[in-house]
Structure formats: structure tokens, C-alpha cells
């Protein structure tokens, strides 16, 4: 006899289902959600529903009011920087538009973070970025996209940490979800673009050499290449 799902598992699956439904527009702004309705539809207790609603409230996606109920909020009220919300939005049919919007955000801070990293990175961080680039080369050639994604995440996380700016570092979750979104939704080529890997190597070398301008330029190139690839994926038949 299969084991019953734990309360934590039920909460997680319900949260993902409701979050994805709101993020995709299935439950549009103004939609009223009821505890009894969700409980019946998903076969979970009201307490599990309440926990999921609390999390969605913390993200600004719903609002609970007496005599009104639980109301889905407009996008303007959402915490759009929340990595979990980013993941849900990238699961929707409008993922390409979200990826392009996120690329515009990345263009606003990652080149600056790369320049700061060229000024502040320590030798250990430089070694981690160099090793991540080497792994990207290996996994790019073999076509192991999951391993490539892991190396890519390590590179960008280390760069943001090396910037020495806690605001940039806090955006690591945003970058990680963007990178994962392209891979998990089939928007990465079977063999990653060698030019993109070369740009990562250029950034790593510029940071190691303390060349702020080159680090910034090459990082902007990484983001532009990714944005172009997404745009091509959208327009291709």
C-alpha cells in the first residue's frame, strides 16, 4: 500500500498548482478563491489550503479580506523578483516574453556586478569561475545540458558574490531561475553556443586580471547572446 503524502508534500504540490494557475492567467486578477472550493478540487484539508494561501499572500498574488474572500491580485502587486514566482511564470505559455523581460533586468545589473567583481574578487572566487567555465566547455561538447546548467549557475552565483554587493548577491535566485528556465523548457540548443562559452571565459579572465571594462563588456555580451537566442526561438517556425 503506497504511503500517504506528507502534509509538507501536500502543501508544496497545492502551492505549485495554485501559483502556476495564477501566474498563467487561469485565475485572473479579481478571481475569488474559496477554501472549500480549493479543498474539494484538490482533495486536501482546509489547513493545507490556508498554508498555501499564506505563502501566496506573502508574494502579493492574493489578498484575503473578510466578507470578500481570497482575491487574486493584479500583476502590479506581485513580488516579481521571487524566484518561485519566476519559475511559475516561466512555466506559462508566455514564458518567452518573461525571459526577454528578465534579460532586460539582467542587463541592468550583471555587467555592473562583473565590473565590481574585477575590482573585488579574491583568488578563490576566480578559481571557481575558471573551473565553472572549464566544466561548461566539457558539458557543452558532450551535450549534457543539466551538467552545463549547474556549471553556468555556479559561474553566475560566484560572480554576483564576488561583486561584494549584497544587493547584487540577493539577485542570484533570479538569475538561476532564468538559466534553468531556458534549459527546462527546451529553449537551449542541444549544443550550447561556443561563442557564449567563450564570453564566459572572457569575463572570468577579465575579473582575474582586474579589467573592469572588459568584464562589463563581455558580461553584457553574454546577456545579449541569451536574449537573441530566446528571440530566435520565438520567431522560428
Q: What is the DSSP string of 130-193?
A: HHHHHHHHHHHHHT-HHHHHHHHHHHHHHHHHHTT-HHHHTTHHHHHHHHHHHHHTT-S-SS--
pLDDT of residue 144: 94
Residues 165, 203, single domain; the answer is: yes
Pick from 68, 141, 100, 34: nearest CA to 234: 100
pLDDT of residue 187: 75
In a domain, 107, yes or no: yes
> Does residue 3 carry a pLDDT above 70?
no
Taking residue 159's Cβ as centre, other Cβ atoms within 10 Å add up to 30
Residues 102, 31, single domain; the answer is: no
Q: How far apart are CA 99 and CA 104, in angstroms?
A: 9
pLDDT of residue 5: 60
Q: How far apart are CA 111 and CA 106, in angstroms?
A: 8
Do the Cβ atoms of 46 and 35 come closer than 8 Å?
A: yes
Q: How far apart are CA 219 and CA 76, in angstroms?
A: 29
CATH number at residue 153: 1.20.120.530
CATH number at residue 18: 1.10.10.10
pTM of the entire structure? Answer: 0.88
Q: How many domains does the chain have?
A: 2
Residues 62, 112, single domain; the answer is: no
Amino acid at each position: 500500500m503506497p504511503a500517504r503524502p506528507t502534509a509538507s508534500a501536500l502543501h508544496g504540490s497545492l502551492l505549485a498548482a495554485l501559483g502556476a494557475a495564477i501566474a498563467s492567467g487561469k485565475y485572473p486578477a479579481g478571481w475569488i478563491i474559496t477554501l472549500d472550493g480549493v479543498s474539494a478540487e484538490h482533495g486536501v484539508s482546509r489547513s493545507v489550503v490556508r498554508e498555501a494561501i499564506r505563502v501566496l499572500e506573502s508574494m502579493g498574488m492574493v489578498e484575503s479580506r473578510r466578507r470578500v474572500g481570497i482575491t487574486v491580485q493584479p500583476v502590479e502587486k506581485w513580488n516579481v523578483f521571487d524566484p518561485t514566482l519566476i519559475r511559475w511564470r516561466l512555466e506559462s505559455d508566455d514564458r518567452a516574453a518573461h525571459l526577454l523581460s528578465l534579460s532586460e533586468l539582467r542587463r541592468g545589473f550583471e555587467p555592473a556586478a562583473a565590473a565590481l567583481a574585477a575590482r573585488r574578487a579574491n583568488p578563490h572566487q576566480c578559481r571557481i569561475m575558471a573551473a565553472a567555465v572549464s566544466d561548461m566547455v566539457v558539458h557543452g561538447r558532450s551535450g549534457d545540458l543539466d551538467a552545463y546548467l549547474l556549471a553556468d549557475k555556479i559561474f553566475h552565483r560566484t560572480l554576483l558574490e564576488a561583486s561584494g554587493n549584497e544587493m547584487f548577491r540577493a539577485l542570484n535566485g533570479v538569475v538561476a531561475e532564468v538559466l534553468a528556465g531556458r534549459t527546462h523548457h527546451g529553449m537551449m540548443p542541444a549544443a550550447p553556443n561556443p561563442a557564449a562559452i567563450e564570453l564566459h571565459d572572457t569575463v572570468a579572465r577579465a575579473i582575474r586580471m582586474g579589467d573592469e571594462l572588459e568584464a562589463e563588456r563581455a558580461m553584457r555580451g553574454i546577456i545579449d547572446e541569451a536574449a537573441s537566442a530566446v528571440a530566435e526561438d520565438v520567431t522560428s517556425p
